[in-house]
Amino acid sequence: MESFSFPPIVKSDAKILILGTMPGKTSLEINEYYGYKHNVFWKIMFEIFETNYSIDYYIKQKLIKHNNIALWDTLKYCERKGSLDSNIKNEESNDFNEFFINNPNIKNILFNGKASYNYFKKYVGFKQNYSYHSMPSTSPANASMNYKTKLKNWSIIKELLNES
């Protein structure tokens, strides 16, 4: 199945960029980042920012933007059966040169899982003016790590925002 990523969720004052790999099947069907109900990405974001959880996608986007975070995917296109990153083939990366030119306040890049990190390394490469953080995947496929541990790791976001 051919898959195309979504446009980034970003506001001009974003300081952190969170990158997934490519939206999964459910996310693509409902046109929402992290739309699969067992992915804990949004639950973690609401908890980090001490806000009541909402299933409303508009409120989710507003939470990210309000807290100076941009959300996107490393890949703009791939072929994949199902939602597992391990099934990705014939991938192409998003255009990060233009993205970073248009969003100069971003200094920290967080990768939601190893696949996002590895594809970024392969297609974009690491530049000295950014700080990179490979985070545990919020996907239910990352069953080796419990929710509390994922939350603790992702809480670095607050520190990074305070530093910038």
Mind giving me the DSSP string for 52-82?
-----HHHHHHHHHHTTEEEEESEEEEE-SS
d(Cα 157, Cα 45) in Å, to the nearest integer? 9
Query: Among 55, 50, 52, 19, which Cα is nearest to 35's?
Result: 55
Report yes or no: 142 and 83 within 8 Å, Cβ to Cβ: no
Residues serving a catalytic function are 39
Phi, psi of 135 (to 5 degrees): -100, 160
